Structure 1
Amino acid sequence: MAGGMWLRCLLGPHLQRIHRSPDQSQPEGRSGRRGWTYQPRSLEKHTDSILGWASTLWSLSYYSSPLLLCYLYRKGYICSSKLVPVSQYVGTVLVCLLGVACLRGWGRWKNSEYFQFISILEETRSNHTPENKKKLKCYDFDFSFWPSDFSWSDVSSSKSSKTGVSLLKPEPRLRGAADSVLNSVRTLPCHVIGYLIAHSFGRRMLYPGSVGLLQKAMRPMLQQGLARLIEEFDGQRNKLVACDGNEIDTMFVDRRKEGGRKGRTLVICCEGNAGFYEVGCMNTPLEGGYSVLGWNHPGFGGSTGVPFPQNEANAMDVVIQFAIHKLGFQISDIVVYAWSIGGFTASWAVMSYPEIQSLVLDASFDDLLPLALKVMPDSWRPLVQHTVRQYMNLNNADQVLKYQGPVLLIRRTKDEIITTTGPEDIMSNRGNDLLLKLLQYRYPKIMTDEGIRVTRQWLGASNHLEEASVYSGYEVDDEWCESVLQSYQADRDVTFPWSVGEDMTMEGRRQLALFLARKYMRNFESTHCTPLPAAEFHPPWRLRNQKM
């Protein structure tokens, strides 16, 4: 029995923190604290430090391996006479590290807090009852050891399948069979190079938060944020299994018991390319009083996998299914909120689940391709186009156009990330293109050349005073504009696109264009990475008689 527990301690996960809720007793010497960082004893502490350094060195060697191998080859170290001593040295190091790991297991076994934790973990694995899960959730440990709380296969109505959920694909070009074969042969090198770029530095450039070294550097901050969500907001951490087998790390804060409409509304948050729910945009609706469900991209935090578009969509699918079937929210009570690159999964969600109440996109863009072309050499343009469209096709605008519900776009007036020429040129902000594409699709008779011109003029305003000046310059009557739209909707009750404005004067179309632009987009005077204050998080505009 003792040997079995020592082996479990040896193979067990890292324990970072012990959470305690107010109704639980505190150990001696820890009164007045809701949680504390796990303190390993001397033997476990030092051996864990050695293994941590070994892991870091391995990560550095992995990422630098191409350069390292070239250097060793040029120096003549890659040959049979040199490889045998090297292999012996590596074997000796591995044996030493194994001995260090055994000593760490002994140190854990002698620590009463770790021994209690590993006992609860083993009991939960063998008997997955709510009581055992409640005990286990008092601990913060390596999430790969966390038992699954929900799987896509638990519900039969999931939109996912064993081949993954559906994504929008670029339109294929029609050509003859002979031309198609010839073109395939001609573009084969481009396909190969594009694949290598996407699966090496391309994916890491697009999602730097998936890089292990960055996560290690951010670990103290992430642990602090996780402790705050659990101990101050009574957050519930859950592991979801997507249709592709990836495990998705989620955090849910329930405000329904507090009453009110906000508490009954669930805001699902989609983070940016270096964002984690522990410290990301989840805090904005949380401070606003909403029930909130945050999740980490595949490869981020406790989530497994890599954040390619298909994996991202699969993760979002299981998050929505979890919210409906396990948390008990109606889909019409769900708001999807995204920051930056999270707009891809958010727009996929409302495209695939059109009954979702509304969509809020903060500092997001219409399409990844223009932003990718901005940072790559001009000579690479054909290769970049192929790689993005084939492997990283984040086509947010195309997906948003398939959604009929209310949408709010938040534009950062000093955004330095999603502008193509720089933060000083607000007209190069790709959020403008997202707004124009949305308005042109929904209101094509209003967004004629003149409507687009006045909307661009309004978008060129970099502060509230300039906005108001453009708005008042065209003498926009808000009440008249809303009454026109309400009358059109009452008479027809049709889906978008609307034909409202086709029999209207140019002056009327101008007013409606500016009115709609201001309703669909709000400016926030800040840079890209500034956290959005709760006061700036609003439900999207809807007509007064529009259905919820």
Structure 2
Amino acid sequence: MARTRWLKLSTMKLTWQCLFSPRLYKIYKDGPSESMYQAKGFEKWGDRVISSASTILNIGLYTSPFICMYIYKRGFFSIDECKGLARFFGGVGCILAISFIMRGLGRASNPKYVAFMKALTNTTADHTTYLSNIRNYDFEFRAWPVTYAVPPKLKSSWLQGHPFNNCANVELPMYQRTFIQVLAYVATHTFALRLIYPGSLGLIHTLFWDALFQGRAHLVESYDGKRSKLKTAEGNFLDTMFIDNRKLSTKGNTLVVCCEGNSGFYEIGIMTTPVKAGYSALGWNHPGFAGSTGLPYPEQEKNAIDAVMQFAINELKFEPEDIIMFGWSIGGYTAAWAAVNYPVKALVLDATFDDLLPLAENQMPSSWSLLVKEVVRSYVDLNVAELLSEYEGPIQLVRRTEDEIICIRPGLLSSNRGNHLLLRLLEVRHPEALTASNDSVVAVNRYIGLLESQRAALARSDISNTDRTSLLLISKYMRDYKSTHCTPLPENVFDSIVHNITNNRN
């Protein structure tokens, strides 16, 4: 009798835990690599109702202004209509409550889900064993335990960091300047940041969900990837993936920290390039991307990459001198920031621009120029060239010859903003070569817009010493790769770049 009562209480407790427990997506090494965890019976139907309700709610939030206008015009704010709406929402609430109960009962009766719950809640095991057990599963990232936390920073008061401290249009009269600042604040916090970082949109995450799931499963099952959750200094949580190749090759002793683009995720991004080349790799998702929380404002981005670097050094036990920063596109900003603030081995920037402002102005109507300038300079000032001026270590720039994203004029190589990034680098590192005469400046500007093959042909011809020096400087820091912006960099090209910059330190 006592045993029966204990079993009932245990079942009730398990069912209660399963009411709001995380959704399980996959049990690794349980069936084909592409297979997912299959919910059955009550769990399946409860999940469908809850997922449908969540989707409708998200759509409703985005369209809430139009819905409220419609309700107001139809007179639904009268007492009788409000009673009807209350009954409707009360009915929906009852259906959702029943769905949660059904899902909890279904999960509690599924041995595979029960085993997952035991692994997730068994926090009495030592930390290494606990992480090893839960890494056998893929589930909602919100429920992942924090693997590594950076000590929190003291937050400045609003008055110290309020948005109107800076102004990009100081030449305007006060009333115009104030209006532009207010407009820029509203624009940045509604749509502008999401235009710059489309990957932070929930819609993009929904559209990419299957690809992200399959990519993550591939990293875990093919390369023994280890997922971790980091907590940044401001309290955001980062979704990361580490692949350790230290036992497989000598190149594995070098860690490549991968910084993705504005719609890039580690699951389907640049991470596999260094892994296939034999290096260890650490990928992470920007704040607001996939499982990571927050939003990709520059300060949050810097805190994010700082947490990633501290995790790599303190938890994964890589020395900074054995870390290569690999940034693609807008990820060049965080990669360059880390290279400036940590004594890393090298910095590789692929398809990266010098400054966000020219690209933003090129995409927006000219009548918006003042607003665009205020938004970028005051809130999203991703000036990679300025960061590079502080970096003194080995570096290689990769320019895509058919880049359609960071070229001001598509198809025109001389308008690629990577050229300006190189120019800034040469101005800082070789001022004597560029200021010796006007001829050297003219030569660099003339040759930087040429293809690498064209410059190589010129170098073999009879040219002046000034021209030859210019060609050598360009080829020293920049390499061409024939492709569009989003084509993955082949592992042999990446391996060649790393070999060159680490053996011929520039």
Residue in 1 aligned with 2:122? 123
Alignment equivalent of 2:396, drawn from 399, 408, 418: 408
- Name the structure 2 match of 1:239: 229
Name the residue aligned to 1:156: none
Matched, 1:382 2:341: no
Aligned length: 488
| Matches of 1:458 and 1:81, distance apart in 2 | 76
Contact 2:400 2:480 in 1 (8 A): yes
State the alpha-carbon separation in 1 of the partners of residues 83 and 68 from structure 2.
Answer: 16
Separation in structure 1 between the aligned mates of residue 301 and residue 17 of structure 2, nearest angstrom? 34
Change (3 A) 1:540 1:112: same
- Partner residue of 1:259? 249
Preserved CA contact (<8 Å) 1:16 1:141:
yes
Which residue does 2:149 correspond to in 1? 151
- Shift of the alpha carbon at 1:201? 1.1
**SS of corresponding position for 1:187:** helix
Question: Shift in Å at residue 34 of structure 1?
Answer: 6.3
Residue 268 of structure 1 aligns to a residue in which SS?
Answer: strand
- Partner deviation per Cα, 1:214-261 (whole Å, 9 max, x = no partner): 21221111111111111111111111110010011111111111231x
C-alpha deviation, 1:263, in angstroms: 1.0
CA distance in 2, matches of 1:474, 1:240: 56
Question: Which residue of 510, 517, 520 maps to 2:467?
Answer: 510
Correspondence for 1:442 among 429, 441, 446: 429
- Secondary structure in 2 aligned to 1:299? coil
Between the aligned residues of both structures, percent identity stands at 40
Alignment partner of 1:53 is 2:62: no
Equivalent residue number for residue 272 of structure 1: 261
2:316 and 2:122 map into 1 onto residues whose CA distance is 25
**Distance apart, 1:445 and its partner CA:** 1.8
Give the structure 1 partner of residue 498 of structure 2: 539
Distance 1:283 1:120 in 2: 29
Return the alpha-carbon distance in structure 1 between the equivalents of residues 462 and 46 of structure 2.
71
Aligned to 2:357: 369
Q: Which residue of the partner structure matches residue 412 of structure 2?
A: 425
Task: State whether residues 17 and 35 of structure 1, in contact with CA within 8 Å, keep that contact through their aligned partners in structure 2.
Answer: no
Q: What secondary structure, in the 3-state scheme, does the structure 2 residue paired with 1:245 have? A: coil
1:183 to partner: Cα distance:
6.2
Shift in Å, 1:187: 2.5
Amino acid in the other structure paired with 2:120: L
1:348 to 337, 350, 353: 337
Question: 1:317 and 1:397 mapped to 2: Cα distance?
Answer: 20
Q: What is the identity, as a one-letter code, of the residue corresponding to 2:130?
A: N
Q: Which moved more, 1:203-212 or 1:534-543?
A: 534-543
For structure 1, the 5+ residue unaligned runs are 21-25, 154-159, 476-506
Q: Structure 2: which 5+ runs fail to align?
A: 1-9
Q: Distance in 2 between matches of 1:286 and 1:170?
A: 44
Once residues 135 and 296 of structure 1 are traced to their aligned partners in structure 2, the CA distance between those partners, rounded to angstroms, is: 23
* Counterpart Cα distance in 1 of 2:65 and 2:380: 24
- TM alignment of 1:120-519, pairs within 5 A: 120-124=119-123, 126-127=124-125, 129-153=127-151, 161-163=153-155, 186-260=176-250, 262-353=251-342, 355-422=343-410, 424-448=411-435, 449-462=438-451, 464-473=452-461, 475=463, 507-519=464-476
User: For the structure 1 residues 416 and 170, does the alpha-carbon distance in structure 2 shift closer, same or farther, using more than 3 Å as the test?
Assistant: farther
Indicate if the aligned counterparts of 1:270 and 1:345 stay in contact, CA closer than 8 A: yes
- State the shift of 1:509 in Å: 3.4
Letter aligned with residue 195 of structure 1: Y
Question: What residue number does 1:487 align with?
Answer: none
Aligned 8 A contact 1:336 1:360 in 2:
yes
Q: Is the 8 A contact 1:271 1:296 kept in 2?
A: yes
Residue aligning to 1:7: 16
RMSD (Å), alpha carbons: 2.7
Q: Measured at CA, do residues 84 and 207 of structure 1 come closer, stay the same or move farther in structure 2, by a change above 3 Å?
A: farther
Deviation of 1:63 after TM superposition, in Å, equals 2.0
SS of 2:299's equivalent?
helix
Does the CA-based 8 Å contact 1:446-1:510 persist in structure 2?
Answer: no
Alignment TM-score, normalising by the size of structure 1 = 0.83
Show the counterpart of 1:493: none
Instruction: Classify 1:472/1:328 alpha carbon distance in 2 versus 1 (closer, same or farther; 3 Å).
Output: same
Alpha-carbon contact 1:358-1:540 (below 8 Å) kept: no
Question: Secondary structure of the residue that 1:404 maps to in structure 2?
Answer: coil
Cα deviation for residue 66 of structure 1 reads 3.1
How far is 1:85 from its partner? 2.8
> What TM-score does the superposition give when structure 2 sets the normalisation length?
0.90
Distance apart, 1:113 and its partner CA = 0.3
Change (3 A) 1:80 1:467: farther
Q: 1:398 Cα shift?
A: 0.4
Q: Which amino acid aligns with 1:141?
A: F
Amino acid at match of 1:446: A
Conserved in 1, the CA contact under 8 Å of 2:249 and 2:278?
A: no
The verdict on how the C-alpha distance between 1:312 and 1:473 changes in structure 2, with shifts beyond 3 A counting, is same
Partner-residue secondary structure (3-state), 1:301: coil
Q: 2:5 aligns to what? A: none
